[in-house]
Amino acid sequence: MFNPLKDSIKKATELPEITLPTKSFGKSSVLMGQSQDNKHIKNYWGWSILLFLLMISLLRVPFSGCYIDAFVFEFIYGYTKYIIYLWLIIKVIYSIASKTKFRVLWSFKFIYGELYLFTALSVLITGISHANLGNWPYEYSNDTSNKYWVNAVDNYIYGHFLPYALNPGLNYQHIDNEHTWFINSYFRTYNEETKVATYHFVVSGGFISEIILISRASVLSIIAFIWTIIAVAYLMSYKSKRWSLFLSKIFNKLVGLDNKDPLSKNSDDVKVRKTSILAIKRSQIKNQTPPISFLTDTSVDNYQKNKLFADQVASGINRFKEYYQLPVTYQKTVIMPLFSEIFFTANSDKTIEEFIRHEMELAHFTKLNQFNISFKGSELRVEFPNQKPSKVSMKSILSNNKIETNKENALIGYGYGNNPLFINLHDQPNNLIIGSKGSGRTILISLILLTYCYLNSPENNEVIVINNKTTTFTTSIDKLVHVKKVIYQDDLNEEVIKTLDEILKEIKYRNTLFTNHKVNNIDEYNDLALHSDLPILKNKIIVFNDFTSIVKQNNYHLKLIRDLMSQGRNLGFRTIINADTIDQYTFDSGLLENIDNRFIMKLSTESESLQVFDNYRGFQLYKNGDGYYLHNNEKLRFQSCYLNIQEMNAVIYIINNFYKEKK
């Protein structure tokens, strides 16, 4: 079988020695922009006021059966009140239909406070149903009953007829309320004829039960009210962090610092080694990178919880080895954001075989549903997913004091030992990402693009995305100011060939230009251009998303892409290939020879993993950004940063605003 990647990957060394971290890997976070959603804060207040009005209309005066809004909101008595409920229904429908405005119902995963609001609204709707929407019963009296008015004829009750609260002079009209619910539930049949004496017996005997039934809606409303107050308070405290960007801009304008270096005294910001070429040429030597403080760090660090769980698993393994008398010695435990590993030393190969042979029994002792056993020499390793995966954020890595971020760097995530992992697109311009659906390939591409564009101005950097179909990724990336073109499925074949031909023509032009001026790469050329009238050349990143479909649609694409990767290496062209599978139709040796970095995410089958690794490593990954990074003879396990579509849009918003202001 043709295994195009095997020869280049199987030479990679085993995983490097792992040291147990002395502390948690640092605060991780969900990436959020500070100023993007300021305008939505008032929407949450609008929701809270609406819920408050509705709940007020449900609360009752104790032991009187009267709704509070009979006194407070008489002006909306009658059909006018239903306008509010109709408004609520329209708002809910609009919330679901428009994903960008009201995220309370649609994207309650966005932050936990919105889940509170969603639940509070559900409780409120339940309260409305129990309160019999729109009816306001009062306490009534007549000769027959000193509690409720009833129509007594010949000592029989023919039904419960209650007058409107504010109009006692009107003809008696039937109103179905909690009292009639209670009576009818007792007599089973609606408006059944009942003797007055029996009626008095039921009312007096069931008074407490009736009060409980009548107050049920009030209890639900109070719960919903308290729930909503907590939710709104949480949301406001959370989103108040986003006012810092807005307030800082106002403060800078007031004190005259608007045009000064925003990083001058910020120890948390990125230290940039290189300055924008175009900025130097224009004699505007100032920072070209958005401050790290622009990103909100809402970190989720579950290191301690995962460490406790790993200790429990280690205890189970200890009982397992004692029960089967296996001479293995505990060495160390490593806690990664997504998984943990426990290392042992075995005294012989036979011991390792026995350990693996009792795999089912090990699952019983450790109570693990999923784990992997591997070994190298005498080292035995048990790997299992964490109960509470930690989320790694872009900010938590970029703000690491040990990192001096190079402008050519692109963020990947955390490697072994919880060390930040970057790739350098200048030295390693051609990158391949392989993984099944849901493995985190798209997130990894987004991280590479966002961090690179975060550190580099669109004045001298450009992104082209070639995609087989419209996705949330391409829809969002298309908004990035660095992106020149996004090609979709409808015009894929013709437009891809046209775009690649244009790139190859530019490669030929640059190659001639470099030869004439006796320079070897784009850095030497742009350095020469700084002191002459030569034009500055942009670095260009070309992303091939869903590479398999792109190549299978037209095999000519493969040749053009191969030429791009081989000829554009020193001319300022970088490529990112995203593929879900490998075969002889999509990859060949000519293309693979030019790949600098390979990122192997979760693979679909064991056979595909064997094709790539000569083992089951790729199949045993955990998705959600778990993968292997292969460069030259190095193979490194990594965990990419957490990034959903909301955080992605927030970072794009920050990048665009920053560089637009710099123009």
Contact of 588 with 557, CB cutoff 8 Å: no
To the question of whether residue 274 is assigned a binding role by annotation, the answer is no
To the question of whether residue 436 is assigned a binding role by annotation, the answer is yes
What's the 3-state SS for 307-371?
HHHHHHHHHHHHHHHHHCCCCEEEEEEEECCCEEEEEEEECCHHHHHHHHHCHHHHHHHHCCCCC
Burial of 3 (0-12, 13-18, 19+ CB in 10 A): middle
Give the span between the Cα atoms of 550 and 296, in whole angstroms.
37
To the question of whether residue 267 is assigned a binding role by annotation, the answer is no
List, edge to edge, every strand of the sheet that includes 379-385: 328-335, 339-346, 379-385, 372-376
To the question of whether residue 95 is assigned a binding role by annotation, the answer is no
Quick one: which of 49, 56, 47 has its CA closest to 222? 56
Give the span between the Cα atoms of 37 and 111, in whole angstroms.
13
Give the span between the Cα atoms of 42 and 104, in whole angstroms.
13
Residue 346 φ then ψ, to 5°: -100, 150
- Cβ–Cβ contacts within 10 Å for residue 441, how many? 25
To the question of whether residue 357 is assigned a binding role by annotation, the answer is no
Query: Tokens representing 491?
Result: 């015009």
Give the span between the Cα atoms of 539 and 522, in whole angstroms.
8
To the question of whether residue 109 is assigned a binding role by annotation, the answer is no
To the question of whether residue 435 is assigned a binding role by annotation, the answer is yes
What are the CA-CA distances from residue 20 to residues 179, 337, 342, 376, 498 (Å)?
Answer: 67, 13, 10, 18, 52
**What secondary structure does DSSP assign to 487-498, as a single string?**
E-GGGHHHHHHH
What's the 3-state SS for 359-416?
HHHHHHHHCCCCCEEEEECCEEEEEEECCCCCECCHHHHHCCCCCCCCCCEEEEEEEH
Contact of 60 with 132, CB cutoff 8 Å: no
What's the 3-state SS for 557-600?
HHHHHHHHHHHCCCCCEEEEEEECCCCCCCCCHHHHCCCCEEEE
To the question of whether residue 441 is assigned a binding role by annotation, the answer is yes
Give the span between the Cα atoms of 393 and 27, in whole angstroms.
8
Show Cβ contacts of residue 513 under 8 Å, excluding neighbours closer than 6 positions.
525
Please report how the helices 441-455 and 645-662 are oriented relative to each other, as an axis angle in degrees rounded to 10.
20
Reduce the DSSP state of residue 252 to 3 states and report it.
helix
| 354 phi-psi bin (left φ>0, alpha ψ -120 to 50, beta other) | alpha
Binding-site members are 435-442
Binding-site members for ATP are 435-442
